[in-house]
Amino acid sequence: MNWISTLLPWQWALFAAVPTGIILLYFLKLRREPVEIPSTYLWSRTVEDLHVNSLFQRIRQNLLLFLQLLAVALAAVALLRPGVQGESTSQGRKVFLLDASASMMATDAGEERNRFELARKMIREQIDDMEERETAMLVTFSDRAEVLQSFTSDRGRLRAALERAQVTNRPTDIIGALEAADGLANPRRSSTTGDENDVQVADPMPADLLIYSDGGFRDVSDFNVGNLVPTYLQVGSDQSRNVAITAFSADRNVEKPGDAQAFATIVNFGTVEETFNLSLYVDGVWRESESLTLAPAEETGVTFSLAGQETAASLELRLESPGSGASRDQPLDDDLTIDNFAYAGLRPLRTVSVLVVTEGNKPLEIGLTTDSAAKVCIADFQSPGYLDSPEYLARSEAGLDDLIIFDRCQPKELPQTNTFFIGALPSDQWAWASDPGQTILVDIDRTHPMMQYLELFSLLIFEGRSVSGPTGTRELVGGDNGTVLALAPRDGYQDLVLGFEIITSAADGTPQTNTNWYAERSWPVFLLNVLRHLAGAADATAAPSFLPGDTIRLRVESQIESVGIARGSGTPESIRTGSSGSVEFVDSDQPGSYRVTAGEKLVDLFSINLFSRQESQIQPRETFELGYETIETAGMIETRQEYWRWILAAVLAVLAIEWWLYNRRIA
């Protein structure tokens, strides 16, 4: 049997005055009014009352006084909270790690609203059962850790910190929370072990590590628990239901930039088969729906076509209950709703600036002025002599162009932008790896965006050479004599090098073709890929997606002094831009489509999505790896068995008996 006092010393002093006051009430004399007695018969009763109320008279046996004092004594015992500790800790310190990630919003927590509330209830019970000698701290974790309360024995402060804890829309990373606990229990040394000057910087303070989570985090294999004693308190049901959108993006058609497509991936992470509607909304207006049925663990992909979508648009994908009807406003009723919605965006078509330095290249000129290329490109053609002009030097140093194409020529210094060299090398870090000769293509890297939709094996190359580049060079097209088309990084920029010329000059100076590529359908497609992925036109079509809690960094035109960022149709938050047009946005916890505006002009779009299979897989884990140990779920920690409730019931019973006797006596 042990005791937990619920009152402070000064409160006990006040409580001690209660029985004293009750006894004094029985000593007090009653103020009597003089009464004329017609008979001496009543004198004995009057004298008896005087004796009873005499301050110096010995108190006679009184059942009511006994019952009242018994009730006070029982109340005092109840306030001491007598009980038996079911499972006591030998550490004397507890570290509560509370998972506050998105998966803790799952509603499979029985009577509680969600898993997070159930975990808070479990921690609150542990705080209530703490003994006076014990201390505890509270740490919440999602993608980052937050110490809500450092070590204290004050249960009131721990309860207040627990009330401040909030569940988030963020993914899970337990590392930061473990490091916070590790810093206390496993203090580091001042130098290396074995050094005579090596000292322990602090005394180790062992602690019980209580992890309240559904296990939706990665194993931590490189963590040493040391003096920590981990216990995993699993939260959640193993019969949960959850269908999730794990990916959603939109992009414009390569050959028809006015058209777009949206792509989505849907997974059933639950334990039962689910039937639902997948609905697409464009700028808040329903566009189309598709009915799907997924078995447990089944995954599927869905594509939506968006014809004639040349302007910017915000897209939303929803999982809805089947038979929603015309209203289409009934979300799918599973255990986790945050992943039933996904957002994407289409930016307005952006025009990129391209400088072409050439002696003359008709196929290149035609390819950059097709209808598709003209919508995203403004090309400026200059002769090689332009490279020596002050205008070019200022232009290249400032990086005013998104791409510079050097056709059979080379600048003295590489510009501060991406480049495309045709039949020439960028710098001394590049070299010709073979002698000129007829080249046959043998391999294409189809995984790179610039090589999509290309068929090149019918090309004829009359004279070409292979190239070798600096460290990090990637081969895009390989020939029988080596790399024919290569891409290499350069201080934040990229250099694309083609090992053969499109147009050459004959002995008399007349131009002649060196390949039949200009006559193939793949030539304008390749140039469009270069504009999209090397010049940056593609960067301006699909709006980027970020995780909740990420710091969003955007770049706008440098002359814009401030922008407004709003979620959906909400009130914009005004943010000043940096000197180079950079914008940082940190209020990114809420998923949705965000619009970036400058006055009435739409400047940019981005979206916030969970897109985490780890969070959407809400089936609680039974075990996880922590350091060199396998931590198994402990279920529910056996709590302290307390008797104060029964004692309070006895107090009420005693007061009821006292009230009954008092009323019977005066009746």
> Are 456 and 329 in the same domain?
no
629 has which bridge partners?
626
Residue 220 lies inside a defined structural domain of this protein: yes
Q: What is the pLDDT of residue 2?
A: 61
457 neighbors 473 (Cβ within 8 angstroms): no
Say yes or no: 253 and 360 in one domain: no
1 found inside a domain: no
Q: Mean per-residue pLDDT for 323-337? A: 74
DSSP 8-state symbol, 635: -
Among candidate residues 519, 539, 559, the one where a domain is terminated:
539
Residues β-bridged to residue 437: 464
Say yes or no to pLDDT of 126 above 50.
yes
If asked whether residues 550 and 492 sit together in one domain, one would say no
pLDDT band at 4 (very low <50, low <70, confident <90, very high): low
Shortest CA distance to 106 belongs to which of 401, 334, 372?
334
Question: What pLDDT sits at residue 326?
Answer: 47
% of the chain beyond a pLDDT of 90 = 43
Residues 608 and 592: their CA atoms lie apart, in Å, by: 5
Whether residues 234 and 263 fall in one domain: no
Q: Is residue 445 part of a domain?
A: yes
pLDDT of residue 302: 94
Instruction: State pLDDT tens for residues 133-169.
Output: 889 999 999 999 999 998 899 999 999 999 999 999 9
* Count of other CB atoms within 10 angstroms of residue 167: 22
Confidence of residue 608 (pLDDT cuts 50, 70, 90): very high
Tell me if 4 is assigned to some domain.
Answer: no
Burial of residue 478, with CB atoms counted within 10 A of its CB: 0-12 exposed, 13-18 middle, 19 or more buried = middle
659 and 562 in one domain? Answer: no
Separation CA 284–CA 345 (nearest Å)? 12
Q: Who contacts 71 (Cβ-Cβ below 8 Å, separation ≥6)?
A: 651, 654, 655, 658
The answer to whether residue 192 sits within a structural domain is: no
Beta strands at 431-432 and 441-444: parallel, antiparallel or unpaired: unpaired
Q: What is the CATH number of the domain that holds 100?
A: 3.40.50.410
Which position has the higher pLDDT, 285 or 325?
285
The pLDDT value given to residue 558: 64
For residues 359 and 507, membership in a common domain is answered with: yes
Give a yes or no: residue 126 inside a domain: yes
In the predicted structure, residue 76 carries a pLDDT above the cut 60: yes
Q: Report the DSSP pairing between strands 482-490 and 474-479.
A: antiparallel
What is residue 331's DSSP assignment? Answer: B
If asked whether residues 255 and 270 sit together in one domain, one would say: yes
**Structure tokens that stand for 238 in this block:** 């193993």
Residue that terminates a domain, selected from 539, 569, 597? 539
Q: Which CATH number covers residue 314?
A: 2.60.40.10
User: What is the average per-residue pLDDT within 501-530?
Assistant: 88
- The CATH number for 601's domain is 2.60.40
Number of domains in the chain: 5
Q: Given pLDDT bands bounded at 50, 70 and 90, which one contains residue 258?
A: low
168 falls within a domain? yes
Q: In what order do the strands lie in the sheet with 243-252?
A: 243-252, 260-268, 299-306
Q: Is the pLDDT of residue 597 over 70?
A: yes
For 247: left if phi > 0, alpha if psi spans -120 to 50, otherwise beta; the answer is beta
For 124-169, give the DSSP string: HHHHHT--TT-EEEEEEESSSEEEEEEEES-HHHHHHHHHH----S
User: Same domain, yes or no, for 532 and 389?
Assistant: yes
Q: What local confidence, expressed as pLDDT, does residue 198 receive?
A: 46
- Six-digit token string for 446: 């189809």
- What integer best gives the mean pLDDT of the chain? 83
Residue 467 pLDDT greater than 80, yes or no: yes
pLDDT in tens, 266-302: 999 999 999 999 999 999 999 999 999 999 999 999 9
Are residues 227 and 264 located together in one domain of the fold?
no
Task: Please give the pLDDT value at position 369.
Answer: 87
Q: How many Cβ atoms from other residues are within 10 Å of residue 43's Cβ?
A: 10
Residues 171 and 249 in one domain: no
Q: Which two tokens stand for residue 269?
A: 């992470």
The one-character DSSP state at 2 is B
Q: Give CA–CA dist 551/553, Å, rounded.
A: 6
Higher-pLDDT residue of 8, 667: 8
Place of tokens 């998923």: 591
Contact 98, 117 (CB under 8 A): no
Higher pLDDT, 378 or 581: 378
User: pLDDT tens digits for 379-431?
Assistant: 999 999 999 999 999 989 888 888 999 999 999 999 999 999 999 999 999 99
pLDDT on residue 21: 72
Instruction: Supply 261's token pair.
Output: 């497509």
- For residue 180, pLDDT over 90 is answered with no
| Phi, psi dihedrals of residue 330, rounded to the nearest 5° | -105, 100
Looking at 342-346, 391-395, 624-628, which range is the least confident one?
A: 624-628
Q: Are residues 104 and 218 in the same domain?
A: yes
| 35-39, 116-120, 291-295, 460-464: least confident range | 35-39
8 Å CB contact between 304 and 280: yes
- Give the model's pLDDT for residue 40: 56
Q: Note whether residue 425 is domain-resident.
A: yes
Q: 456 and 359, same structural domain? A: yes
pLDDT of 309 strictly over 60: yes
Query: In this predicted structure, what is the pLDDT of residue 599?
Result: 87
Lowest mean pLDDT among 143-147, 351-355, 413-417, 533-537: 533-537
Question: Which three-class secondary structure string do you get for 439-457?
Answer: ECEEEECCCCHHHCCCCCC
Domain of residue 575 covers 544-608
